[in-house]
């Protein structure tokens, strides 16, 4: 059944509320409250009626009831003052007074008993977050679990590279024994996140599992245990931990799938994933291949802003790491692709993150770069790429303390990411400018453990070792730097886009014996 009123549609089968073509996010309990009021719109519904229908007769405070009613009003553009749809009748109850039309779903013609149609898989990672099972025997934990699932769904939906099923659709499976393969088929998703919540002895234990729906294969699983103190802080803490773990894991899995597909079957998104894999190698050949694959993606989808930004940051890397045969060409291409990416999509956090780096190092406009980087993290505070990009921008802007904070946040966002050498290398550079040379050495070593060919980490170690008087180690690091960047000189590095304001870095490189 679908209830239609003004521009809204409440679908009781799919448990979704829409305003026009847009889904409206509401909690299951508020959905039930709204449905009950609409179904009983011909009469005044008392407080006792609502408690019996929505809370199964449990004791509920007036404040809790008012909160749910206000949430229902907010969802449909109403207010307590206006009462356009939900009217409060003092000492009597509530009534839905909007004009409602009922639209029943009519079975269509199904010649030859054709199989039920199911949604096609999107051309990017797709996921549904199922309601977490409450294993506590405590009804209060139901609200905690539902709220956490809603927060996880919202956080994941901020990643434009993910297709995330609306919570209301996922909640049609609440309280049911489900077949994950059937869930994936019916919702048209490749991955399903499920879990349980259990409360015991003042603690809450949450388990989560990320499953590939078609095969039932577990891609990721973890358990989180926290003290039951501030319930909302706990919810945020666990949500962040889960999102930080599964988002990078999803993309690692997708990259592996893309590399296995035959070239003639690749989509623009597959080419993007392959380009990303090559870009993260940070080698001369890897960057060149990343640029080539990114342009193949743009040929298939000329509106793919994120891949334009990836191509642009690839050209930027060519210049900064000394890979460019013609630095002026790469610089011009980077700026062209920066402008193209922003013209196509200036509301995606990852696109803005890469754009901010290109702007900082190729254009040299630190003020605009900082604005782009800050907007990226405000659009998606859970994106490790946005925080990492912000760190590099703040290094270019000569603000190392803020750079360290950004890199630390990026590492926290994605603590098992195989690309952690990037934020660790960036932290090392920032620590040098702060005079924290021992910490710079630790960060540089961490970066090299992940990527021994990362020339920025060798540069960091050469300078930091020299500052603390470890001359032999400084010369060895400088020699390694020249292995991966044979044309490196201090003046050439600054001309490429190195920080002329990085006085301590430059001083350390001179002490390490690198040519001026």
pLDDT, tens only, 37-75: 998 988 899 988 888 888 877 777 888 888 888 889 988
Whether residue 334 contacts residue 312, with contact meaning beta carbons closer than 8 Å, is answered with: yes
- Judging by DSSP bridges, how do beta strands 126-129 and 163-164 pair with one another? parallel
- Chain Cα centroid distance, residue 413: 9
Cα-flanking dihedrals φ and ψ of residue 325, to 5°?
A: -70, -35
CATH no. for residue 56?
A: 1.10.10.10
Average pLDDT over residues 295-318: 94
Average pLDDT over residues 32-40: 90
More confident residue, 93 or 57: 93
Task: Quote the tokens at residue 37.
Answer: 């009021």
Q: Residues near 200 by Cβ (< 8 Å), separated by ≥ 6?
A: 136
In a shared domain, residues 144 and 182: yes
Residue 366 lies in a domain: no
Helix (H, G, I), strand (E, B) or coil at 475: helix
Cα-flanking dihedrals φ and ψ of residue 2, to 5°?
A: -120, 125
> What confidence tier does 231 reach under pLDDT thresholds 50, 70, 90?
low
Residues in the chain: 516
Whether residue 55 contacts residue 36, with contact meaning beta carbons closer than 8 Å, is answered with: no
Measured CA to CA, the distance from residue 337 to residue 307 in angstroms comes to 9
Which of 216, 238, 260 finishes a domain?
Answer: 260
In a shared domain, residues 432 and 476: yes
CATH no. for residue 241?
A: 3.40.50.10610
Which of 260, 294, 318 finishes a domain?
Answer: 260
The confidence score (pLDDT) of residue 109 equals 35
- Judging by DSSP bridges, how do beta strands 93-96 and 101-103 pair with one another? unpaired
Task: Quote the tokens at residue 422.
Answer: 């990037």
pLDDT tops 60 at residue 110: no
Helix (H, G, I), strand (E, B) or coil at 98: coil
Residue 158 lies in a domain: yes
State the DSSP code for 454.
-
Structural domain span for residue 134: 126-260
Measured CA to CA, the distance from residue 505 to residue 270 in angstroms comes to 39
How far CA 324 is from CA of 79, 310, 314, 490, 504, in Å, comes to: 60, 16, 11, 17, 27
The confidence score (pLDDT) of residue 296 equals 93
pLDDT, tens only, 256-268: 877 777 766 678 8
In a shared domain, residues 95 and 139: no
Residue 339 lies in a domain: no
Residue 223 lies in a domain: yes
In a shared domain, residues 71 and 143: no
CATH no. for residue 508?
A: 1.25.40.10
In a shared domain, residues 34 and 94: yes
In a shared domain, residues 133 and 228: yes
Torsion, Cα 74 76 82 88, to 10 degrees, reads -90
In a shared domain, residues 131 and 253: yes
Torsion, Cα 15 19 20 25, to 10 degrees, reads -60
Which of 245, 260, 275 finishes a domain?
Answer: 260
Residue 466 lies in a domain: yes
pLDDT, tens only, 374-424: 999 999 888 888 999 999 999 999 999 999 999 998 888 777 677 899 999
* 146-184 residues labelled b (16+ CB within 10 A) or e (exposed): bebbbbbbbbbbbbbbbbbbbbbbbbbbbeeeeebeebb
In a shared domain, residues 40 and 137: no
> Mean pLDDT, the chain, as a whole number?
85
Residue 17 lies in a domain: yes
Residue 412 lies in a domain: no
pLDDT tops 70 at residue 230: no
pLDDT tops 90 at residue 469: yes
In a shared domain, residues 254 and 137: yes
Task: Identify the CA nearest to 501 among candidates 405, 366, 397.
Answer: 397
Average pLDDT over residues 492-505: 80
Domain count, the chain: 3
State the DSSP code for 177.
-
Scanning 76-215, the segments in alpha helix (DSSP H) are 140-157, 167-170, 180-187
3-state helix, strand, coil in the chain (%, to 5): 55, 15, 30
More confident residue, 497 or 348: 348
In a shared domain, residues 139 and 255: yes
Residue 349 lies in a domain: no
Q: Residue 215 burial (CB < 10 Å; 0-12/13-18/19+)?
A: exposed
In a shared domain, residues 85 and 145: no
In a shared domain, residues 79 and 204: no
The confidence score (pLDDT) of residue 255 equals 79
């Amino acid at each position: 059944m679908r209830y239609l009123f003004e521009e809204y549609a409440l679908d009781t089968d799919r448990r979704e509320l829409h305003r026009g073509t847009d889904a409206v996010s509401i909690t299951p309990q508020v959905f039930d409250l709204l449905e009950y009021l609409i179904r009983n719109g011909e009469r005044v519904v008392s407080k006792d009626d609502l408690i019996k229908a929505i809370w199964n007769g449990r004791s509920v405070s007036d404040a809790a009831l008012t909160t749910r009613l206000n949430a229902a009003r907010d969802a449909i553009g109403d207010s307590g003052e206006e009462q356009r749809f939900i009217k409060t009748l003092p000492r009597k109850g509530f009534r839905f007074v909007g004009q409602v039309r009922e639209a029943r779903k009519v079975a269509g013609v199904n010649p030859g008993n054709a199989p039920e149609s199911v949604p096609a898989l999107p051309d990017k990672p797709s996921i549904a977050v199922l309601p977490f099972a409450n294993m506590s025997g405590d009804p209060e934990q139901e609200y905690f679990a539902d709220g956490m699932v809603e927060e996880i769904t919202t956080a994941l939906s901020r990643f434009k590279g993910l297709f995330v099923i609306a919570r209301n659709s996922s909640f049609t499976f609440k309280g049911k024994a489900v077949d994950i393969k059937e869930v994936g088929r019916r919702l048209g998703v490749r991955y399903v996140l499920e879990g349980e919540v259990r409360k015991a002895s003042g603690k809450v234990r949450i388990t989560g599992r990320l499953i590939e729906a078609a095969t039932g294969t577990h891609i990721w699983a973890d358990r989180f245990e926290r003290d039951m103190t501030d319930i909302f802080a706990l919810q945020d803490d666990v949500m962040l931990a889960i999102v930080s773990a599964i988002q990078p894991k999803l993309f690692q899995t997708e990259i592996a799938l893309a590399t296995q597909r035959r070239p003639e079957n690749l989509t623009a998104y597959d080419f993007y994933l392959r380009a990303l894999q090559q870009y993260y190698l940070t080698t001369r050949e890897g960057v060149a291949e990343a640029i080539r694959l990114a342009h193949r993606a743009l040929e298939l989808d000329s509106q793919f802003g994120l891949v334009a930004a990836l191509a642009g940051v690839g050209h930027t890397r060519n210049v900064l790491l000394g890979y460019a045969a013609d630095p002026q060409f790469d610089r011009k291409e980077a700026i062209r692709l920066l402008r193209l990416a922003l013209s196509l999509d200036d509301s995606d956090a990852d696109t803005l993150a890469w754009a901010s780096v290109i702007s900082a190092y190729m254009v040299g406009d630190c003020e605009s770069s900082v604005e782009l980087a800050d907007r990226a993290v405000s659009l998606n505070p859970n994106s490790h790429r946005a925080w990492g990009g912000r760190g590099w921008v703040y290094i270019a802007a000569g603000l190392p303390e803020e750079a360290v904070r950004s890199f630390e946040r990026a590492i926290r966002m994605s603590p098992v990411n195989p690309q952690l050498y990037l934020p660790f290398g960036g932290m090392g550079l920032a620590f040098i400018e702060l005079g924290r040379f021992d910490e710079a050495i630790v960060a540089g070593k961490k970066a090299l453990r992940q990527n021994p060919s990362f020339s920025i980490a060798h540069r960091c170690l050469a300078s930091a070792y020299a500052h603390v008087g470890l001359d032999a180690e400084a010369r060895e690091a400088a020699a390694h730097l020249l292995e991966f960047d044979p044309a490196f000189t201090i003046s050439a590095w600054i001309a490429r886009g190195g920080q002329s304001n990085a006085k301590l870095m430059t001083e350390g490189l001179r002490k390490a014996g690198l040519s001026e």
